[in-house]
Amino acid sequence: MAIISNTINYLDDETLLEGFFAYDDSSKERKPAILIAHAWGGRNQFVEDKAIELAKLGYVAFALDMYGAGKTGNSIEENSRLMQPFIDDRACLQKRMNAALYAVKLLPWVDDKNIAAIGFCFGGLCVLDLARSGADIKGVVSFHGLLKPPTAQQIDQKTITAKMLILHGHEDPLTNPEELTHFYQEMNTKHVDWQLNHYSHTQHAFTNPDANDINLGLVYHPVNSERAWLAMKNFLTELF
């Protein structure tokens, strides 16, 4: 096994974006691709490591860039400033995600009929909105993602064809019970094939070993992090 990884530039209109890809070149066959959407801090080492892990499982992994030129934040304030424009403009968010999908389809190692997406925190919202855009993908996985739905005024309502796996901490302070209820109602109304794993005694960012801010509810949970990754692997096996 030889994992090849590198960065690659792609565009959303005039915005230059920098993705990170990884794949195992021991097989020359085209492989299913997994987009990876980062948390609010930008495309960092955490998602690049996840790309390597997915490459070892036999996928082409693509850690996308929502902010441009691989930009990352270094504080809560910076992260919030980077993320907020996409929270406010969900059509822009969907467009940025579809630019990444277009880019990954052009990679020569990718079976462009077999693509899924996973995302963490803000990235969870991103992959759900990619599905909401009607993108031709097999499925999406949200790890402790934001679940607030867009309004009808923010995006056009499209048919969702992707299956969904939601991996959610029961004590996540960034998602209230009303948002969960709205999510259920939205997906049931749209006849989406969805499932949710609800982890007890688990807060936000539970897959991130660097999450240790109890006041913000950002707390790593190693056991449920492993459970969630296993659930993702099983879900991807089902898709492909």
> pLDDT 10s per residue in the chain (240 long)?
799 999 999 999 999 999 999 999 998 899 999 999 999 999 999 999 999 999 999 999 999 999 999 899 999 999 999 999 999 999 999 999 999 999 999 999 999 999 999 999 999 999 999 999 999 999 999 999 999 888 776 777 789 999 999 999 999 999 988 899 999 999 999 999 999 999 999 999 999 999 999 999 999 999 999 999 999 999 999 999
- Residues 240 and 119: their CA atoms lie apart, in Å, by 18
Q: Which helix (H) or strand (E) holds 27?
A: none
pTM: 0.96
Give the pLDDT of residue 71: 93
| Phi, psi values for residue 35, rounded to 5° | -75, 140
Give Cβ neighbours of residue 108 (< 8 Å, ≥ 6 apart).
none
Environment class of 51 (CB within 10 Å of its CB; exposed 0-12, middle 13-18, buried 19+)? buried
Give Cβ neighbours of residue 232 (< 8 Å, ≥ 6 apart).
118, 141, 143, 165, 167
DSSP-H helix ranges across 133-202: 177-189
In 3D space, the residue among 198, 191, 92, 90 whose CA is nearest the CA of residue 142 turns out to be 198
Per the structure, the complete domain to which residue 110 belongs is given by 3-239
DSSP-H helix ranges across the chain: 45-56, 76-88, 90-105, 122-132, 177-189, 222-239
> How many domains in the chain?
1
For helices 76-88 and 122-132, the axis angle rounded to 10 degrees is 10
Give Cβ neighbours of residue 155 (< 8 Å, ≥ 6 apart).
90, 91, 94, 129, 132, 133
Please check whether residue 117 is in contact with residue 98, taking contact to mean a CB–CB distance below 8 angstroms: no
Domain harbouring 219, CATH code: 3.40.50.1820
Please check whether residue 206 is in contact with residue 216, taking contact to mean a CB–CB distance below 8 angstroms: no
